[in-house]
Amino acid sequence: MTREAALARAQAYFDSGAFREDLARRVRMPTESQNPDRAPMLIDYIETEIKPAFVALGFSCRTLFEREWPFLFAERIETPEQTTVLGYGHGDVIRGLDDGWEEGLSPWELIERNGRWYGRGVADNKGQHSINIGALRAVLEARGTLGFNAKFIIEMGEEKLSPGLRELATTHRELFRADVFIASDGPRLSTGRPTVFLGSRGAISFDVWIDARKGGHHSGNWGGLLSDPAIQLAHALASITGPTGQIHIAEWLPKGIPDSVRHVLADCEMDTSADEPKIDPAWGEPGLTAAEKLFAWSSFAVLAFEAGNPKTPVGAIPPRAWARCQLRFVVGVDVADVLPALRRHFDRNGFQNVQIAQAGDEVFYATRLDPEHPWVRWAVDSISRTTGTKPAILPNLGGSLPNDVFSDILQLPTIWVPHSYPGCSQHAPNEHLPLSIAREGLELMAGLYWDLGEPGVPA
């Protein structure tokens, strides 16, 4: 009944090949939530794979439905007075994109190559919640009990922007009541450095377009006489930022960076590996470090731009131009004012003919736990004790997660401990997970879960 025994059991689970077998079985289930034909598989993943894993650990389980999407709720209540921890994961994956994988690889088969496991979901998120389930088992085997109360939500629609999750949390607020939220998703800061992040940037996607007239017109007969909506829209988009990506709409930016955020980010060097894109140091907000640009500031991107017929261009002035855009933003930006602020900006700059509409109903909200919060210090101490390395502390993920469900609706301090890295190719062909991260993840989570049952946990 020692911490070291729990860590040893987590290591043995990996070294014996048992973890690989469990993860391989889960990868073989094509749980593509964006593919309507896979809907039965989403239920199967809960009922035949994850529910039995939790039941074997003494959890009681319920399958809940919200907006027709399935969720697994699992809980193990040992003593009501003990600390209660809410965990989370998602069993759905992005489309497999089968034809894009390297020769010999498949999204639905776990294959080891060059110290990595390849397969859809190994990084996002089957590998990550499998690590946490395995770490719970290691603690139970070593101690006989967890020493704390554990609750978990496994959703099957995260890649569809988590439909129903906010309603589920609102309806079942009491069922999900806990003292802290600890889960795993997203990437570490780098391959070799354990990381905790405390929230996520928000994200809103929107369309901008110009409808100039009905039908295209011959560019020889009408060129110079008819306005070109593609040129006009390009100028409108260019007005949003400077030539190096500095955002010109003040309402899209935070008022500044809190000192506590600057402090932790000063210890976060953006170190990209050889197979990751090289950072453009001159891009983005001047005067900020790379970490501050990604984790403490807003960024704007044009995701797609279309005019005319891109695949078969013809000599005609197009009647319409369209673009899909996205703003990622941090705490301090009012998401309700993002599109109104864009409307005001376009009108001030002579682009009254540009139309704007939000793309879909879902918005990710910006969240951030104070890096000086007691639960942050506790988690950092636990991980440091296990690994001998101080983890990177990120005030929020650069990407977006439904963290507001846990931080705002359920009012929990949120601690994320990711088991992936930025170059894992999630959402793309050749998704992979380094074996070193998986093994260390099992070990550090076993240490963290062990410490939850020891004295010194934040009140």
CATH for 425: 3.40.630.10
**Same domain assignment for residues 337 and 438:** no
| Residue 267 resides in a domain | no
Torsion sign, CA atoms 218, 220, 221, 222: positive
CATH number at 233 reads 3.30.70.360
| Residue 269 resides in a domain | no
Comparing CA positions, the residue from 111, 98, 128 lying closest to residue 429 is 98
Rounded Cα distance, 290 and 368, in Å: 19
Domain boundary among 312, 337, 358: 358
**Same domain assignment for residues 8 and 150:** yes
Domain boundary among 358, 393, 428: 358
**Same domain assignment for residues 399 and 340:** no
| Residue 425 resides in a domain | yes
Comparing CA positions, the residue from 75, 84, 255, 183 lying closest to residue 402 is 183
Domain boundary among 334, 358, 382: 358
pLDDT of residue 410: 98
| Residue 121 resides in a domain | yes
**Same domain assignment for residues 175 and 323:** no
**Same domain assignment for residues 147 and 22:** yes
Token pair 């011959």 is found at: 218
Task: Calculate the alpha carbon distances from 88 to 111, 132, 363, 421, 424 in Å.
Answer: 26, 10, 19, 19, 20
| Residue 98 resides in a domain | yes
Rounded Cα distance, 141 and 401, in Å: 32
The side-by-side arrangement of strands in the sheet containing 111-113 is 111-113, 116-118, 432-434
pLDDT of residue 413: 98
CB 422 within 8 A of CB 276: yes
**Same domain assignment for residues 214 and 191:** no
Task: Calculate the alpha carbon distances from 193 to 135, 233, 290, 423 in Å.
Answer: 19, 43, 17, 14
**Same domain assignment for residues 65 and 148:** yes
**Same domain assignment for residues 313 and 423:** no
**Same domain assignment for residues 39 and 168:** yes
| Residue 281 resides in a domain | no
pLDDT of residue 276: 77
**Same domain assignment for residues 51 and 76:** yes
| Residue 258 resides in a domain | no
Total number of domains constituting the chain = 2
**pTM, full prediction:** 0.93
**Same domain assignment for residues 101 and 211:** no
| Residue 429 resides in a domain | yes
Torsion sign, CA atoms 55, 49, 144, 418: negative
Rounded Cα distance, 14 and 445, in Å: 13
Structure tokens belonging to residue 443:
């070990």
CB 8 within 8 A of CB 16: no
Running along the chain, 459 residues long, what does each successive block of 10 average in pLDDT?
96 98 98 97 98 98 96 97 97 97 98 98 98 98 98 97 96 98 96 96 97 96 97 98 98 97 95 79 96 98 96 96 98 97 98 96 92 98 97 95 96 98 95 98 98 95
- Tell me, letter by letter, the H, E, C secondary structure of the chain: CCHHHHHHHHHHHHHCCHHHHHHHHHHCCCCECCCHHHHHHHHHHHHHHHHHHHHCCCCEEEEEEECCEEEEEEEECCCCCCCEEEEEEECCECCCCHHHCCCCCECCECEEECCEEECCCCCCCHHHHHHHHHHHHHHHHHHCCCCCEEEEEEECCHHHCCCCHHHHHHHCCCCCCCCEEEECCCCCCECCECEEECEECEEEEEEEEEECCCCCEEHHHHCCCCCCHHHHHHHHHHCCECCCCCECCHHHCCCCCCHHHHHHHCCCCCCCCCCCCCCCCCCCCCCCCHHHHHHCCCEEEEEEEEECCCCCCCCEECCEEEEEEEEEECCCCCHHHHHHHHHHHHHHCCCCCCEEEECCCCCECCEECCCCCHHHHHHHHHHHHHHCCCCEEECCECCCCCHHHHHHHCCCCEEECCCCCCCCCCCCCCCEEEHHHHHHHHHHHHHHHHHHCCCCCCC
**Same domain assignment for residues 190 and 328:** no
pLDDT of residue 44: 98
Structure tokens belonging to residue 122:
């190994």
Range of the domain at 411: 3-200+367-452
Structure tokens belonging to residue 102:
């390297």
